[in-house]
């Protein structure tokens, strides 16, 4: 599951409260997978394993000890890593924590390609590497994925050079939508170091058509996942952190119309580790100004449970365990003609506050 490295970058990994392997634990072990049977070091987090050999290969161990010694993670035992001593052990823990926890990791997307529910989305072309060590080729993505997210529209912004404190940030939120951050995993894998996603994300983002206000959502506020190890830096501390209890689902419907929808993911906005006010505080911490109409998305909303993965990358264990649809067909990634439908809803006492749906059909890549 080297692919899980990418999932880790979403800065939130769902861990059941009863798990021994919480984010406070981070124990080391040796593991292998069907897709890659080479035994190698990893860190257990809930039911997942963070592949340290992949972290090393991506050059993410950048501290003074491990930057020149990260081959210790390309070994079938932990001995080599153990022998490096405490500075290396602390460095490795901090790197893993940083990947998972220290800062909300974000990137700037393109506003031009945000489209409303019902708009078809064309499969993108891009540079992909077909086999390790090979030169890239320019091809239609063969690993087109959805990402179950929610988007938040900024109402009132801030002046350039000022910042929005985490405690005040909620007042700047005009409202919320469902968001599908379509992602081309093969393009992403090739391009994302060191400047982040570009062509793998910029070809389209779908949102639901109605902006639901905080006033409507307030009755559904619930405490956010706790944060104390590490404690957030002061600028990220928000009193009474909460998220809305929005039940979310993703369904896929193949082309043709005979087959019905199959729900492939169920999650909830409650699982968000960095709340939107914290993300706004982070975005503006350096003085960057937000403006009315700017949209911030949550990142993939995954949670525990058999359908808890918010994207196919995670649901199919990096393409190694296909998902089955109701017509018997299987998916590792999306096929042309597939329609992805996201829905989200808060259940009140005899009423609902919901988002309608966010729907998009995959069109074939344009001819070259």
Report 140-179 residues binding Mg ion (CB under 5 A). 147
Cα Rg of the chain (Å, integer) = 21
Report whether 300 belongs to an annotated binding site: yes
Which of 151, 232 has the CB closer to Mg ion?
151
Q: Residue 160 binds what, of a second copy, Mg ion, Ca ion, none (CB under 5 to 8 Å, by partner type)?
A: a second copy
Of the candidate residues 202, 238, 275, 332, the single one contacting a second copy (CB under 8 A): 202
- 26-34, 128-136, 254-262, 337-345 -> range binding a second copy (CB under 8 A): 128-136
254 forms part of the interface with a second copy (CB under 8 A):
no
Counting contacts by CB under 8 A, is residue 103 touching a second copy? yes
- Residue 181 interacts with which of Mg ion, Ni ion, a second copy, none, CB < 5 to 8 Å by class: Mg ion
Tell me: cis bond preceding 230? Omega within 30 of 0 counts. yes
108 binds Ni ion (CB under 5 A): yes
Q: Which of 189, 13, 22, 16 is nearest to 100 (CA)?
A: 13
> Is 147 an interacting residue with respect to Ca ion (CB under 5 A)?
no
The answer to whether the CB of 335 falls within 8 A of the CB of 145 is no
**Under rule CB under 5 A, residue 291 binds Ni ion:** no
Among the listed ranges 168-176, 201-209, 274-282, 343-351, the one in contact with Ca ion (CB under 5 A) is 201-209
- Alpha carbons within 13 angstroms on the beta-carbon side of residue 98 total 11
Is 147 one of the annotated binding-site residues? yes
Report in angstroms how near the CB of residue 75 gets to a second copy at its nearest: 19
Return d(Cα 171, Cα 182) in angstroms, integer: 29
Q: Which of 291, 270, 265 is nearest to 280 (CA)?
A: 291
Alpha-carbon span 99 to 23, nearest angstrom: 12
Which DSSP symbol is given to 101? I
Q: Is 77 annotated as a binding residue?
A: no
Of 77, 66, 68, 71, the C-alpha closest to 28 is 77
- Least separation, in Å, of the C-beta of 136 and Ni ion? 22
- Told to check if 181 binds Ca ion by CB under 5 A, we report yes
Task: Work out what residue 108 binds among Mg ion, Ni ion, Ca ion, none; the CB cut-off runs from 5 to 8 Å by kind.
Answer: Ni ion
147 contact, one of a second copy, Ca ion, Mg ion, none, CB 5-8 Å limit per kind: Mg ion
Q: Which two tokens stand for residue 347?
A: 């259940």
* Unique residue bearing structure tokens 């992403």: 188
Q: How far is the CB of 161 from a second copy (least distance, A)?
A: 4
Told to check if 160 binds a second copy by CB under 8 A, we report: yes
Q: Is 258 helix (H, G, I), strand (E, B) or coil?
A: coil
Structure tokens at 356: 């309608």
Per CB under 5 A, does 314 bind Mg ion? no
Is 205 marked as binding a ligand? Answer: yes
Establish if 196 lies at the interface with a second copy (CB under 8 A).
yes
Question: Phi then psi for 126, rounded to 5 degrees?
Answer: 180, 175
First to last CA, the chain: 33
Does residue 283 touch a second copy according to CB under 8 A? yes
Cα–Cα distance list, 262 to 172, 206, 287, 305, 339 (Å): 37, 19, 44, 17, 10
188 is in an annotated binding site: yes
Q: Which residues of this protein are in contact with Mg ion, per CB under 5 A?
A: 147, 181
Residues marked as binding for substrate? 188, 192, 300
Q: Which residues of this protein are in contact with Ca ion, per CB under 5 A?
A: 181-182, 201, 205
């Amino acid at each position: 599951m080297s692919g899980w490295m990418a999932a880790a970058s979403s800065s939130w990994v769902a861990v059941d409260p009863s798990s021994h392997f919480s984010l406070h634990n981070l124990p080391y072990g040796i593991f292998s997978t069907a897709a890659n049977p080479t035994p190698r070091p990893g860190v257990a987090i809930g039911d997942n394993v963070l592949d340290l050999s992949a972290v090393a290969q991506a050059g993410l161990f950048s501290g003074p000890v491990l930057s020149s010694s990260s081959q210790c993670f390309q070994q079938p035992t932990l001995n080599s890593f153990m022998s490096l001593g405490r500075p290396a052990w602390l460095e490795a823990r901090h790197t893993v924590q940083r990947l998972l926890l220290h800062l909300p990791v974000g990137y700037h997307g393109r506003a031009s390609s945000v489209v409303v529910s019902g708009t078809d989305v064309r499969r993108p072309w891009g540079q992909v590497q077909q086999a390790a060590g090979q030169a890239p080729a320019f091809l239609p993505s063969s690993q087109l994925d959805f990402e179950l997210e929610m988007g938040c529209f900024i109402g009132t912004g801030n002046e350039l050079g000022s910042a929005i404190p985490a405690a005040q940030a909620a007042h700047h939120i005009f409202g919320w939508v469902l968001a599908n951050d379509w992602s081309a995993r093969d393009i992403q894998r090739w391009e994302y170091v060191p400047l982040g996603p570009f062509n793998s994300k910029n070809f389209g983002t779908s949102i639901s058509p109605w902006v639901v206000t905080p006033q409507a959502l307030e009755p559904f506020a619930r405490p956010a996942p706790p944060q104390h190890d590490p404690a957030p830096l002061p600028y990220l501390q928000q009193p009474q952190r909460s998220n809305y209890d929005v039940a979310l689902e993703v369904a896929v419907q193949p082309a043709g119309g005979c087959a019905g929808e199959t729900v492939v993911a169920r999650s909830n906005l409650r699982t968000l580790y960095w709340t939107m006010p914290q993300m706004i505080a982070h975005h503006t911490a350096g003085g960057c100004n937000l403006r009315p109409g700017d949209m911030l998305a949550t990142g993939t909303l995954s949670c525990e449970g058999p359908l808890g993965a918010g994207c196919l990358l995670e649901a199919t264990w990096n393409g190694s365990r296909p998902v089955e649809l109701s017509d018997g067909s299987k998916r590792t990634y999306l096929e042309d003609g597939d329609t992805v439908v996201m829905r989200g809803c808060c259940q009140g006492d005899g009423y609902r506050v919901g988002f309608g749906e966010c729907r998009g059909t995959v069109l074939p890549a344009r001819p070259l």
